[in-house]
Structure 1
């Protein structure tokens, strides 16, 4: 009889061993999940001064922290309140299990758990939290196996980075910044106690909702530390009395959402997990400039609404955009894609192509200067009728100046200063459509048609593209590519640094001729609303047909800024909304405010050595070897308008 009983137990034991082996074989891949822990991590974006301006994440807002960077007091507090024998057991705590079983039997239900921190980590990462025998067996087996692979420190690192602390914060570093606006090493003992007390019931103990309950829980942690002798009486007394300041905030922050969206657009194709891969992205953005740009754009927008008829539905479509960059490098200091991100996330600074209008004129005049014209060259500002055909149908085009008047004869300088359409048309006609078109393409414009419509800015550009083109003026003939990302650091500490991209297009002396004229635009021409006392500025207004688009594109001796306004549905704005009326004030206000914060920036344009001055017709004028002073001072006005045949 005894041998049968003995055989029965052998069979039972072998069966149990086989069952446990099959069970472990079934769940061993779960061990790999914990060992090869790779949580989603927030990506931090910083401005040029190293200030954080945004966190981006997917599902879980988490900033990872290594074990060596976690204060010892946090470890002690966690172990004291959750698993005092953590550093002695091998994954499970038999004594705690025995106590829990006795209480559960007496209650007739699961009333007390006995999970170690190792078991809690497994439950968080690979198992459910349901209270069933099979789940508890799996949990115990995994805990024992895990502790044979990972060190205690590695387990704690995973636990403190994975656990949810309430309020949308995952991981202890994120929670410290969220609740206390501090790094871990800055926390007081009471603040640490609040944090380590949260994982048991994060919503219930959330200090932003239930501060008294949260403090009571923290006091339990501190009392336990005192009972274990891990803190001294003075630390105990002072900590029990402390009531920390709690911050109720969102860690997404994102003080410059349009800038962040543009930065992400530049990275997303090469780094698909940029939003949640734990990167640190250092931007060229100047937070002060970004705020000034946003406020300046909104101010002009509000003024435009006051001028508008409130019954006009098109006013609801009015919006604007702005980009400012360091002229010599292309570093974007501010980029605003709309007047209110909360109402529209569409980023008009890079997602929208709009017609350049008369803001294209400086490029046309630069081409003429490079062909031997001079700022003093005389141009015909007269009406001409152009015959052209479209699909075999004969049509006529008779362009006009803004306001309908013409001067007859104007200098090249005054023609650009006052944005004369007719003299510009005549200038481009004389220089040649083909040459002008080819040069515009060399300057970076792609949407070009080979006819006189280019003189009215028919090509479409984004603000970013237009900024790159305009840099040939603001950067002395050297074109720079605007960029917003300075450096990227991945979670392994690998660094990628972005360098400026430059290309010499024209000589410094030739570009300076345009700068001198665009300075006149601001001081006495169509851009007078952009003036700022104490600093030289250059720029060009731009207004397309029917006031669909309004621009001001300009620069100081060191910073270039472009402003655009228009209706999102491409309908005309009010006739009053020109580049000089709605866009130039934004430019002026930006430089006024920026100059107050940075009085050290260069104030005057520097004339290159190969630019000379002389008197002509009683006025001082500039000239270069390529753009000599004209030999003929006075032109005879034609007696009648001319006609020219165009093919569109």
Structure 2
């Protein structure tokens, strides 16, 4: 998808209301773009920041001279003297060092900007690139962050607040008393210079400003095809399938984890929340072996193809003479239900061998909508040619175990996974399931869990400093966090 959607704002659902979730960006910067800047705000910023904006060519020598005199009088830096074009140049260059070299680059860039663009275009560029604190860039992003509103919905009072904090957003946002004083001072200047009426001045004075500080995330371009319901190129918005509450939960789950993790949540095959320690595209583009998380699909396939619930298989050896690692010790022979519960590899290899590997591997190919050549005998243990992404894993569970097309065999499988849920998490929820998976090198850990409505897939990556056992603190985190989101569905019970 390249970067053509950079700066588009992503919306999700919060109950029945659409809420801004973040901005498309492949960098760390959170910067939404907009073709609209209120005319009044342009008038305000010229009056406050650069009175001779329309008469200079990028450098205001009178302003610089005045600033030097005022700074000498005060004995400290009280005025900067930078024009709007210079401020724009500084924001484009992204160099805040107080050096002569930086100032020279800024000056040259400002003159180039003046030659290349009209004054109105410069103001539009300025408001799309100006810094508003906390990694927020541009007027549109600032409106979404501070007030949860698009630019055209901001009141004049809210625009005035954004103008107030422009010179030092991180400084002013922490000092409400100083901010209020500056706000009133700017309001008075605009009245004295006849930019606003006395009535508008009084309204600005009396208005109570409520700052929301809406959490905004950066969504990489590669993740957009998986979440976008509708893209509006004119408004530069993306209406997504994400649910605000679930997204906040996913973001918090990753932020509070002691080790790198990724999480995806699907409802009826649609992504409603996702996050990752490695960026929002990681759950979609990173693929690897998924261990025993494929066993529930194989269980259903084997039962459907004649393996009875009573037939037992060797739990210590397999007919392929492979040496496979087991998570624990069992009886020498297990039936398929026991094999799924204990995630025994040998039993599954032997059962698949009886039904036929080619048949079983073609079944997995259909489940994941991948070429048959991606699957080979070791796929029974979770290995595939090109790997499976966390999203693909969650989607397979969401589609296959959808409550609308459950069969007796699938219900039987989910009943076993419900026991796994209780065994590993210590929480009894009637219609919840859990299946874990560990890759052969023990570096990546998977957990897929959910209920009749919602499916989560979680991946824990290796943490060399705290790589506890096979599950350990990973299961503890899931027990504390994810299971709380799986409320019992009284309209549907598997067992």
Q: Into which bin does the TM-score normalised by the smaller protein fall? A: 0.5 to 0.7
Q: Distance in 1 between matches of 2:282 and 2:6?
A: 30
Equivalent residue in structure 1 for 2:12, among 47, 71, 78: 47
CA pair 595-521 structure 1, distance change in 2 beyond 3 A: closer
Q: Displacement of 1:416 after TM fit? A: 1.9
Aligned partners of 2:313 and 2:350 also within 8 Å: yes
SS of 1:553's partner is strand
Q: Displacement of 1:325 after TM fit? A: 0.5
CA pair 440-224 structure 1, distance change in 2 beyond 3 A: same
SS of 1:350's partner is helix
Equivalent residue in structure 1 for 2:155, among 164, 175, 187: 187
The answer to whether the aligner puts 1:522 opposite 2:430 as a matched pair is no
Q: Distance in 2 between matches of 1:530 and 1:221?
A: 62
Indicate the residue corresponding to 1:594 in structure 2: 485
Aligned partners of 1:385 and 1:397 also within 8 Å: yes
Q: Displacement of 1:558 after TM fit? A: 1.1
The answer to whether the aligner puts 1:540 opposite 2:474 as a matched pair is no
Indicate the residue corresponding to 2:94 in structure 1: none
Aligned partners of 2:246 and 2:272 also within 8 Å: yes
Equivalent residue in structure 2 for 1:430, among 344, 354, 362: 354
Indicate the residue corresponding to 2:240 in structure 1: 283
CA pair 406-543 structure 1, distance change in 2 beyond 3 A: farther
The answer to whether the aligner puts 1:231 opposite 2:201 as a matched pair is no
Indicate the residue corresponding to 1:442 in structure 2: 366
Indicate the residue corresponding to 1:559 in structure 2: 454
Q: Distance in 1 between matches of 2:30 and 2:312?
A: 65
SS of 1:604's partner is coil
Q: Displacement of 1:536 after TM fit? A: 1.0
Q: Distance in 2 between matches of 1:142 and 1:266?
A: 35
1:188-227 aligned within 5 A: 189=157, 192=159, 202=167, 211=179, 212-213=181-182, 215-225=184-194
Q: Distance in 2 between matches of 1:583 and 1:198?
A: 43
Equivalent residue in structure 2 for 1:336, among 252, 261, 275: 275
Q: Distance in 2 between matches of 1:52 and 1:465?
A: 26
Residue deviations 1:552-591 (CA, integer Å, cap 9, x gap)? 223311111222334278x9955x324xx55555554445
CA pair 537-79 structure 1, distance change in 2 beyond 3 A: closer
Aligned partners of 1:322 and 1:336 also within 8 Å: yes
SS of 1:443's partner is helix
Q: Displacement of 1:519 after TM fit? A: 2.0
Indicate the residue corresponding to 2:72 in structure 1: none
Q: TM-score, normalised by structure 1?
A: 0.53
Q: Displacement of 1:331 after TM fit? A: 1.0
Q: Displacement of 1:605 after TM fit? A: 3.5
Equivalent residue in structure 1 for 2:313, among 370, 380, 383: 380
1:468-547 aligned within 5 A: 468-475=395-402, 508-509=406-407, 512-523=408-419, 525=420, 528-530=423-425, 532-545=427-440, 547=442
Q: Distance in 1 between matches of 2:116 and 2:364?
A: 68
Q: TM-score, normalised by structure 2?
A: 0.66
Aligned partners of 1:357 and 1:458 also within 8 Å: yes
1:240-259 aligned within 5 A: 253-255=215-217, 257=218
CA pair 406-533 structure 1, distance change in 2 beyond 3 A: closer
Q: Displacement of 1:321 after TM fit? A: 2.4
Aligned partners of 1:47 and 1:286 also within 8 Å: yes
Q: Displacement of 1:465 after TM fit? A: 1.9
CA pair 215-356 structure 1, distance change in 2 beyond 3 A: same
Q: Distance in 2 between matches of 1:236 and 1:296?
A: 46
Q: Distance in 1 between matches of 2:466 and 2:205?
A: 67
Q: Displacement of 1:285 after TM fit? A: 1.9
Q: Displacement of 1:458 after TM fit? A: 2.8
Q: Distance in 2 between matches of 1:531 and 1:365?
A: 24
Q: Distance in 1 between matches of 2:474 and 2:189?
A: 61
Aligned partners of 2:8 and 2:23 also within 8 Å: yes
Q: Distance in 2 between matches of 1:176 and 1:448?
A: 48
Provide the aligned C-alpha RMSD in A: 5.3
Q: Distance in 1 between matches of 2:356 and 2:23?
A: 52
Greater gyration radius: 1
CA pair 591-474 structure 1, distance change in 2 beyond 3 A: farther
Residue deviations 1:111-170 (CA, integer Å, cap 9, x gap)? 9xxxxxxx999x989xx9989xxx9xxx9x999xx8xxxxxxxx8798467457653777
Residue deviations 1:524-573 (CA, integer Å, cap 9, x gap)? x476224644541123232344644433223311111222334278x995
SS of 2:283's partner is coil
Number of residue-to-residue matches in the alignment? 434
Aligned partners of 2:315 and 2:344 also within 8 Å: no
